[in-house]
Amino acid sequence: MVTILTCLLQNCGGDFAVAFLSVRRSNMKEEMIRERMMKEERVRSEEARNLKILQLVDQIDQQSIFADFAALKALTDSDQPYTRRAFTDQYLAGRAWLVERLSALGLTPYYDAIGNLRVRLEGERAETIYFGSHTDTVPGGGLYDGILGVIAGISVLQSIITSGEKPQYSLELIDFLAEESSDWGLSCIGSRGLAGVLSEQDLARKNPYTDEMLADAIVKMGGEAPFQSDLLSPKSGNCFVELHIEQGPLLEALDREVGIVSGIVGIDRVEINISGKQNHSGTTPMTLREDALVGASALITKIYQLAIEMAAEAALEQGYFVATCGRLITTPNAINVVPGAAQLVVDIRFSRTQYRDRFLEALKEQQSHIEKQYQLSSKLMRLSTTEPVLFDRALQAQATSWAERLGYRSHSLLSGAGHDAAFMAMLMPTVMLFIPSVDGLSHHAQELSHEADIIRGISLFSALILDLAL
């Protein structure tokens, strides 16, 4: 093909061609200058935007933050601090406080169909940045588990409202219903509901102590049938962010101020019911006993040994595995009676499903062996299953970048605890942020995170939310 330049040389003479090239070089130079100027303008605009975000972060009302912690601290079972179990009067009192606190900001909190407490700050666009956590606790739990994320959400909403800024994207804070394990053998009820994975079988579960159906309990917490009416879809939000205490020792051990969470382990809970023969403890010879508790004890020991072995195997592959028998119920639970039945629940956590599968296979083998050894029968039932979750890489990078801007030492880590973020990740890009837990202690009345770490965590959380929303 004959080029334009060749044509000019052949038909118009060399002088014209030289002039053409000169003009072309001049145009290219002008274009490069324009591109450089536009790039510099973008950089200046980004710097100005980041400066505004940092100014808003610097204006966080620390006094309000710790006043909010103190207010929720007071709402506990008096004989077992700190306890605010979902579906209880104390839990409703905590939520009543939250409604009042948000209403004072000029917002309108509401309960969705599944019983989550939510509040929305409208932006220029309907697309939404979601954030939140939970205000329920385990029995004798701590002041910060879940509560940190809700108070952080209040803080960022308060900062935006006080500044008069109108966010580009809408913002929504969620206090999820019953994140902690409930009497219905299920955790993360509110986030499961939003993700559409709370089944009819789940809703029909009965409380073993009261015989109340879960569906009825949700209604008492502000929910409304049909519970599927407020489902979120993958198009419902731009992303979800949750701030939480680590509940483990890693950040403190590594001297890191914030954690950027890469994902959450999978969690399986299995119930094993062991049946023997109830009989008189004084007249039944030792060789003729069918003691369900003895079998359960032997199985618990095996579970511990199997978990140690599987954890070691997982560690060789940079994986993670733990298993815990945290509940044991015997029947009739009397001093002078050979136990006729025992029920134990095993909590299994894993970074890869193959670790869980191999563990359960080995557990079933031990279950069969113990049945034969102690003349018992048993049945294993899966209570719940949550697969491992990986969080959004772009959000992790964005959070890491803001940690650097704020001067915080950060570390990427996997969460060994379950969180509502695992279910929100089914719907939209998601990330979690951690702050250190003193001595790695959690689910305990002495659970503690230092005030400086709380402010750092809320500052990073706020910077990320503002960067996403403004």
d(CA 233, CA 426) in angstroms, rounded, equals 9
Under-70 pLDDT residues of the chain: 1-21, 23-24, 37-44, 236
At residue 19, the pLDDT reads 62
* Structural domains of the chain, ranges and CATH numbers in brackets: 62-265+388-469 (3.40.630.10), 267-386 (3.30.70.360)
pLDDT tens for residues 72-121? 999 998 888 899 999 999 999 999 999 999 999 999 999 999 999 999 99
Query: How many CA atoms, within 13 angstroms, populate the side-chain half-sphere of residue 35?
Result: 6
Number of H helices, E strands in the chain: 14, 15
d(CA 177, CA 222) in angstroms, rounded, equals 10
pTM of the model: 0.83
Using a 10 angstrom Cβ sphere, with 0-12 exposed, 13-18 middle and 19 or more buried, the burial of residue 317 is exposed
Question: Taking the CB of residue 378, how many other CB atoms lie within 10 A of it?
Answer: 21
Per-residue tokens: 79: 């004989």
pLDDT tens for residues 31-86? 777 777 666 666 667 888 999 999 999 999 999 999 999 999 999 988 888 999 99
At residue 9, the pLDDT reads 52
At residue 7, the pLDDT reads 58
In the block, residue with structure tokens 């101020």? 257
What distances in angstroms separate CA 339 from CA 277, 290, 295, one per listed residue? 7, 8, 10
At residue 234, the pLDDT reads 76
Sign of the four-CA dihedral 100, 105, 111, 115: negative
d(CA 86, CA 80) in angstroms, rounded, equals 15
At residue 1, the pLDDT reads 47
For the chain, the C-alpha Rg in angstroms (whole number) is: 29
